[in-house]
Chain A
Amino acid sequence: MFTLLSIEPLYQLPIYFLLFGIALLTISYFCHIVPKYQRIITFSIILITLLLVIILLLDTLYIDVFESIDANSSPLSNSNIQRLFTIDSYGLIYASLILIVSLIAILLIYRSIKLPTRQQIAIDIAILFAVIGSILVIFSSHLMAFYLSLEIISLPLLFLLTFNGSNYFSLNKIVHTWTISLVGSALFLLGVGLYYATNHELTFSGISLNLATNDQSPPLSMIGLSFMFLSILFKLGLAPIQSRFINQIRALSYPIALFLLAVINVAIFCCLSRLFLISTIVNNETIKIIIIIVASCSIVFGNIGALYQKDMNPILGYLYISFFGYLLIPFIAMQYNIYAIETIHICLFGYILAFIVIYSILTIESTIQQKKLRLDDLAGLVKKRRLNSIMLIIALFSIANIPLTIGFIGYFFLMLTAVTANLWVFIALFVLSTITGLYLCLKLIVTLFRKPTNLDNQNHLLAENNSFLSHYKINEIIAFIAMFAIIFFGFFPKWLLNIASLSTI
């Protein structure tokens, strides 16, 4: 627990709450006191825990940021940067966002996957552990803290990745995933060791200052940094090594895929961007070249790869990869006077909202049809469930950067960044990949309008009644709120930008 001790007592509370929730869940895993109501009890435990933590984080944010008139008197502003964890408004905003998304993922799991109660509780515990890890990752400002938080994530993630509805434990897969995650961690540690051997510095601020000012770093430390980046890329699944990630995501059930794509990877990305936003690391040429290669590969492979997929999960996985490729552009352009943090904020927000809508609707569809969805399985959705398909179309519009959605605003800010920094190669890639992405999204949308081709799908269509809100109310309400946010922030991006300008690092 030594990592936690460096945080002030007030800020430890959320973590304790989460641990307490896990303890309660564990107790309920082993005891069958009221078997009939056990499912409801565990669900309410996890719900209350997450809600309490969200309220706590938002309260901290409110007290420390909104109400402090004199900026210097705020406890956040003079938090010591040498610590393992830095608690600031940036971290608080993203931590609350991530908690909300994980809450949605849990709701979707409860709605869609019908499991024996004990397995359900096991998944809940894994998710809560992963949430703790993600929160710590967001707040960490020291390489060791970052490593430990990543390790907290990796074990529950292993559990979640190997889990897929029917086939509970596939040993082959566990060994596979575990080996790869261990290799990633080992690479990271090796990189940290090499870097420490030359620079005797492990805090983010120290690293970033060192890189920004020293053009000629010793090669050993550069090798160490490259190892670290490689391992983070492994975790994020970005382009040159994306195929493993896509294979991993192919078999996942939809709520867990949402949890992986919109919680854990967003958290890791937030930590990465904290490192990059402290000072202009990209002054260092080696780092700049690495980031440029990763970003351009991700943009190109992500968009082209998605075109040739037939399953829904890999398509969304590739879209995720191209999206995170776009998000690396502000880092490259950091030298110029740009709105980096606002750009990242708007893009991430739009991405998360769109993925929430898409995944909650896919969950409904896959539960009704009782299989992993291929592209053709979505045909005729407009006839079957009109409201759902409209929500899906708006989310796809947001991904395809169509105006009056939040995706368009994010796209505009990315373009602004790229033009300001004279990244002409990127702009060319950007144009091509935007058009590819648009074509893909239009293909998906037209699929929704097409008549279903295979016979049993048509029979299925006849059997269902076309009601306003179907049996899956909670999914639809979540999707509707997210869709409303997409349109609302597309019209009024000012408020989202205000939140972004609050977050200081």
Chain B
Amino acid sequence: MLLELVILPIIGGLFGLFGEFILSKYRFTTSKNIKVQSSISTYSRFKVFIDTELRDYFSFWVAFFTSLLVFLVLVYWSIQVEHLSNIAGWQKTVNYNWIPLVGINFHLQLESISLLFCLLASTLTLIAILYSHKERKRSSGLFYLCILSINAFTMMLLTAQDLFLFFLLWEAIAVPFYFSMVLWGKKGTALINRFKGASKFIIYTQISAVIMLIAILTLALKNKNLTDNWTFDYIALGNTPISIYLEITLFLCFLVVFFIRLPLFPFHSWFIEAHRNCSTTSSIMLSSLFCISAFYCFIKFIFIFFPNALFLMQKGIMTFSLITVFFSALACFRQTNIKSLIAYAHLSLISLILSVVFYHSLFAFQGIIFILIGTSFSITGLFILCRIFADVYSTFSINKIKQIQISTKLLATFMLLFILLLTGLPGSANFTGILMMIIGSFSVTPYYMIFLVISLLFLTIALISCLQPIFFGEKTIYHNYSSRNHRFETIILVFILIILFYIGLMPQWIIDLSHPWLKGIEIIIKNAQITLTQGEI
């Protein structure tokens, strides 16, 4: 069941691609028939429908229904899990022998926590696909294949239990992103300019993948020297005894890998440049799916594989991420492009999340998951709003967008609402998360927490003061906004708002789903603390 679910989006994408190809080969009506639509039979009306509506939107509808199906199955499963008494015991597994020579298996395992993240990923894909209806794409079959395969690869990445498979998907996920960036990038930019940004993106990804491959192979080699068998199994490699020096080296390797991918401070430039060159749909996918999967895998790997090294280097990383939060909040002040402003805000929130990860407080950890979900959704909403501005004012520059509170009252309200949602509006998911984070970690490291809260305040100030001019100011440019044109986006934004407030007001099911996993991590950290204090390493 899991395998079918995971490859369903790819099959749907291929179906859309070939279906569109075949439809474009055959015309059922001549152009004359389309003009004279009155007084024709149902059959020929159907033919006209095929020629006009179905041909243009065929791949869209296929993609939409595929992602809807995936979403519904995941919702059904999560409702099922919610009613179980033993949530930790629920899992679905796929395990095939793939390359027996070096002990590689096609091993996927869906647990309650990965179910939660898969659900998040498929919801965001559904929103992105819905939104993409607005941007008519040429050769859209290939575009939807890209989007759907990103979804499929993300779900596989979240459930992968074999490190080779994990590495393969880690690299594979960048390819559809690359194409969606180069071929269907921002309107009005030359392909060569987009190529530069996209090349930067894929080269960064490749570097991170190669470093990870070396780390994985070193670990597997150590295991092979002990047991005389090649294996890439997640649990078997996690239990490999390694010396503390090797552990620290590998930990740093993995840290670089995830810092590139998340992205964090020294390696963030690809992220900003990619967002500038992306269309809105790819921006949504990039900011949400890419970062979600990277973050989940970060916790999944770092905590299981290198608990001792993590504990030793905890202070350094915490300081580093605090600096990153400040840096990205400061960088927000200097932005003139509204998309890169949002990207920097996202960066700042990710580093905020990362700094809290190392507290080792269960309550704070739960808060992080809420912040992650809330951030993904509110960033999605902000990108959609950006696109509306760009439609109305035909620019992304903050200096040229003026007076939205008069011209577009609804839009201004939404904008303010989403900025506040990003930084924690009471009742929303982010607020719940930040509250839990502060409560959970204040008892552990109060001074650090104070700094973090200040930095969060900093981010809010930056966002408000940067975006304030667009609400007021003189009306200089003629704009053609009418709420009719943007009815579709408004529906999506309301949908996102409902999700955010639902999560914020009813957080219990997410806590239930994530609890078993977090409990396991807490035990591992406690053991690491004990070994460290006993001086065994």
Q: Write the residues of chain A forming the contact surface with B, with a CB cutoff of 8 angstroms.
A: 339, 342, 397, 402-404, 408-409, 412, 415-416, 419-420, 427, 431, 434-435, 438-439, 442, 446, 449-451, 468, 493-494, 497, 501
Contact = CB atoms under 8 A, between A and B. Distances in A.
Contacts of B217: 415-416, 419-420
B192 A403 contact: no
A446 B203 contact: no
Interface residues of B, number: 31
Please give me the 5 A-B residue pairs with the lowest Cβ-Cβ distance, nearest first: A403-B172, A419-B217, A403-B168, A431-B210, A446-B195
Interface of A is mostly: helix
B269 interface: no
A463 to B, nearest CB: 21
B101 interface: yes
Contacts of B101: 339, 342, 494, 497, 501
5 contacts: A339-B102, A402-B172, A402-B175, A497-B99, A501-B101
B98 interface: yes
Contacts of B97: 494
A450 B213 contact: no
Interface in B194-240: 195, 199, 202-203, 206-207, 210-211, 213-214, 217-218, 221
A449 B182 contact: yes
Nearest to A490: B168
B520 interface: no
B171 A446 contact: no
Nearest to B173: A403
Contacts of A468: 25
B182 A435 contact: no
A420 B223 CA distance: 12
Contacts of B221: 419-420
B452 interface: no
A295 B24 CA distance: 50
Contacts, number: 69
B79 interface: no
Contacts of A339: 101-102
B183 interface: yes
B416 interface: no
Contact of B183 (A404, A442, A449): A449
A408 B203 contact: no
B293 to A, nearest CB: 15
Contacts of A408: 168, 171
A451 to B, nearest CB: 8
Nearest to A402: B175
Contact of B206 (A342, A397, A438): A438
Nearest to B213: A415
B164 interface: yes
Nearest to A408: B168
Nearest to B203: A435
B202 to A, nearest CB: 7
A364 B475 CA distance: 58
Contacts of A412: 164, 213
Given A412-B213, A439-B203, A497-B99, A449 B171 contact: no
Given A449-B183, A450-B191, A415 B203 contact: no
A435 B199 CA distance: 10
Nearest to A404: B172
Interface string B21-55: 00001000000000000000000000000000000
**Residue picked from B97, B169, B206, most chain A C-beta under 10 Å:** B206
Interface string B153-172: 00000000000100011011
Contacts of B172: 402-404
Contacts of A420: 217, 221
A119 to B, nearest CB: 41
B98 A403 contact: no
A389 to B, nearest CB: 12
Contacts of A409: 99
B202 A431 contact: no
Nearest to B224: A420
A438 B202 contact: yes
Contacts of B98: 494
Contact of B218 (A342, A419, A450, A501): A419
Nearest to A497: B101
B184 to A, nearest CB: 11
A384 to B, nearest CB: 14
B218 A434 contact: no
A339 B99 CA distance: 13
Contact of B171 (A402, A497, A501): A402
Interface in B95-118: 97-102
A451 B191 CA distance: 9
A494 B98 CA distance: 7
A431 B207 CA distance: 8
A501 B211 CA distance: 30
A409 B165 CA distance: 11
Nearest to B171: A403
A202 B362 CA distance: 71
A468 B25 CA distance: 10
Contact of A493 (B99, B192, B211): B99
Nearest to A494: B99
A427 B199 contact: no
A412 B171 CA distance: 12
Interface in B464-505: none
